[in-house]
Structure 1
Amino acid sequence: MKVALLSFAHVHAATYIQLLRDRSDIELVVTDPDAEPGDPTRGKALADELGVTYRADYEEALAEGPRAVIVTSENTRHRDLVEQAAAAGAHILCEKPLATTEDDARAMIDACEQAGVSLMTAYPVRFHPAFAALRHTLTDGTLGPLLSVHGVNNSRPPALVRPWFADPTLAGGGAVMDHTLHIADLLDVLLDGEQPMHVHAVANTLLTPDGAREPEVESAGLLTLTYANGLTATIDCSWSHPATHPAWGGLTLTCVGQRALAEFDAFPPLLTGYDTTDAITRWEPAAIDLDAAMLDTFLTAARTGQRSHPDGHTGLRTLRTALAAYESLRTGQPATVTESGTGRR
């Protein structure tokens, strides 16, 4: 099956390329025409380093008739590339956030539905077997009704390797846009798609790396979500890991139910130690490749023509949480989440 990957802007692009390149059932073509000329971390230079077939632009890659397309561009460019891929008849996996505005997300969903292709949002953490076990404790009654959920998704600042993550025009925001969504997706799974009623957010720019220019986006954030049934959830979405941290990032979830408490760690260290060469602590992570699991699901859906999950509607629901957070930051008050957007409480 032919697969095209559009843009190397996102930090996950190289990972997806390597996973697809090594599959005997995939013919991969890639393109990254928006890369700065001479950038060794993007464009044809990266494609040559990874040993994959490169095309000059998006039109040339899509003209080859790929069955599936993966969009890993800057956030605000997702809509254009998804619409192009849908017009070419390809099933699509789009990096999160699905878009940076509700209008763009809706347009992407509509384009794919009209073209008869599936649109999947890149949320790999939901494929973790430990998360499936956590969900089972909720569905089988072991946990009891949920009372509160505390989610943490922290990492090094991605702008250290991809500066556009700190550009509000291209990213649509900072840490809140980048790290709210994985937790929001897990909540979406646990609550069967129920959205919060209100979101209250606080954020700051205090975690900007030394020597960086004046920050235009937030580097730390904390969200409080309230639901109609009284459930309260919090999301720590900060870029709080220093460059020397032993792991790029982490994600944990603590669920408090009436009968029990359950904790989930998406990236627990298998072994810990100390690297005397670099004088830093080392973590060897547990061997669960969530990106590979997500790609397997996407490729199977593309091959069979089935609807892929998490779909575009999931991407839209979770995006609303982030957009409500930005409304709350703007007003200093909790924002109401509605199906047509967000407003003041």
Structure 2
Amino acid sequence: MTSLILALVTLLSTFSVDPESTSSSQNEPVKIAVAGLTHDHVHWIFGRDNSRNDIEVVGIYEPNEELWQRYMEMYDLDQNLHFDDLFDMLNETHPEAITAFGSTYDHLQLVETAAPLGVHVMVEKPLAVNLDHALRMKKLADENDIHLITNYETTWYSSNQEVKRLFEHDKGFGKIRKVTVNDGHQGPKEIGVSEEFLEWLTDPVLNGGGAIMDFGCYGANLITWLMDGQEPTSVTAVTQTHKPGIYPHVDDEATIILTYPGVQGVIQASWNWPYNRKDMQVYGEHGYAFAQDNQNLQILKRADESPENISIDPREYPYNDPFSYLAAVVNDDITVQETDLSSLSNNITVMKILDAAKKSAETGKTITLTP
């Protein structure tokens, strides 16, 4: 478990703040509260480089005392930061924003509690367990005029940004015809996630599904972004459970096909890959661009040319880290556009896709989305 945590912190620190990068306006640190410690991505906020002093963690809500003690010792956290009641934490610490690291099912309750207090919210992907929860969250965010954004690791990949730029600026690839997004790993139990994380990640209620939710959301998010927010006309999905002894209640394998006029999207989400992967292939009329990881690409502009491998510099501050981004949004240094990867609009579409995908997998039918 210790080696997994170290690996996770090392991976996520790739997107930490570079003190020498372009500076944002000088503001006081944004006061941020943490809701939950059962999502292992919470190591991201505790392990990040905060040399810019752009955020300050003012409270941590976690009802599991043993889990709190573990994190307190691991990161030398102040005991006074801990609360076992979410409402009490918000009222006593008065954060400007709160970031969610509990189960996906908990996201709705978090917004129900934070939004009326005017507290902005960032949740870990996906936005919600289902579209109903997502729409209720949107209503609360709109009524209370708060930001509600969703964090994906791949949002901070400079490779993905470069792929979109290449196709937007007519670099010889032609129009997008097909997008394939591949995400996943060997399985949460196999890679050694914490017991608390595994418990809700494999619960069909608390996670909304298995691999289809855990990793299917990445592809839905990226394809929606590449399509400038356009919704697919149809969704077809197949799910399987190859390891029922480990994942008896949820899928561990999912493939989702999205259709658009002139474009097809394929999302491959799996807890059965023989290695960790988060990559994307975008095919145009004349060439392709493959985002192989966070910084490396392979591109081909013409069939009679050889592929070119290139490496892209990391994204600049504050677009290289979710917490820097959140602080900039709260400070109005960044205006979240409807088509942005983190936006509520994009992620409502993601939930429409995932709900349709689960229905398709259950019924064996293609689901047509109504505009």
Q: Secondary structure of 2:230's match?
A: coil
- TM-score w.r.t. the length of structure 2 is 0.77
Q: Which residue of 2 aligns with 1:58?
A: 86
Deviation at 1:25, TM superposition (A): 3.5
Judged with a 3 Å threshold, the aligned counterparts in structure 2 of structure 1 residues 306 and 129 are, in CA distance, closer, same or farther, namely closer
Whether 2:284 is the aligned partner of 1:257: answer yes
Whichever residue aligns with residue 221 of structure 1, its letter is A
Whether 2:9 is the aligned partner of 1:9: answer no
Preserved contact between residue 4 and residue 29 of structure 1 (Cα < 8 Å): yes
Deviation at 1:288, TM superposition (A): 5.1
Preserved contact between residue 71 and residue 82 of structure 1 (Cα < 8 Å): no
Q: Deviations over 1:3-62 (max 9, x none)?
A: 101001212112122227665332213434343x53xxx323213321234322212321
Preserved contact between residue 29 and residue 55 of structure 1 (Cα < 8 Å): no
Q: Secondary structure of 2:209's match?
A: coil
Whichever residue aligns with residue 332 of structure 2, its letter is T
Q: Which residue of 2 aligns with 1:82?
A: 111
Which shifted more, 291-300 or 190-199?
291-300
In structure 2, stretches of 5+ residues that fail to align are 1-29, 297-311
How many residues in Structure 1 have an aligned counterpart in Structure 2? 312
- Written as runs of structure 1 = structure 2, the 5 A alignment for 1:318-337 is 318-337=350-369
210, 231, 239: which is aligned to 1:195? 231
Q: Which residue of 2 aligns with 1:276?
A: none
Whichever residue aligns with residue 217 of structure 1, its letter is V
Q: Percent of aligned pairs with the same residue?
A: 25
Q: What is the RMSD computed on CA atoms of the aligned residues?
A: 2.6
Separation (CA, whole Å) in 1 of partners of 2:363 and 2:163 = 36
- Written as runs of structure 1 = structure 2, the 5 A alignment for 1:74-223 is 74-142=103-171, 143-159=173-189, 160-161=192-193, 162-163=197-198, 164-207=200-243, 212=246, 215-223=248-256
Preserved contact between residue 118 and residue 146 of structure 2 (Cα < 8 Å): yes
Deviation at 1:186, TM superposition (A): 1.2
Separation (CA, whole Å) in 2 of partners of 1:287 and 1:166 = 36
Preserved contact between residue 188 and residue 318 of structure 1 (Cα < 8 Å): yes
Deviation at 1:307, TM superposition (A): 4.3
Judged with a 3 Å threshold, the aligned counterparts in structure 2 of structure 1 residues 106 and 233 are, in CA distance, closer, same or farther, namely same
Q: Secondary structure of 1:169's match?
A: coil
Q: Which residue of 1 aligns with 2:62?
A: 33
Q: Which residue of 2 aligns with 1:272?
A: none
Judged with a 3 Å threshold, the aligned counterparts in structure 2 of structure 1 residues 333 and 71 are, in CA distance, closer, same or farther, namely same
Preserved contact between residue 220 and residue 239 of structure 1 (Cα < 8 Å): yes
Preserved contact between residue 233 and residue 368 of structure 2 (Cα < 8 Å): yes
Preserved contact between residue 29 and residue 52 of structure 1 (Cα < 8 Å): no
Deviation at 1:292, TM superposition (A): 4.9
Separation (CA, whole Å) in 2 of partners of 1:157 and 1:307 = 36
Whether 2:75 is the aligned partner of 1:45: answer no
- Written as runs of structure 1 = structure 2, the 5 A alignment for 1:187-336 is 187-207=223-243, 212=246, 215-227=248-260, 229-241=261-273, 245=275, 249-267=276-294, 292-304=320-332, 307-308=335-336, 309=340, 310-336=342-368
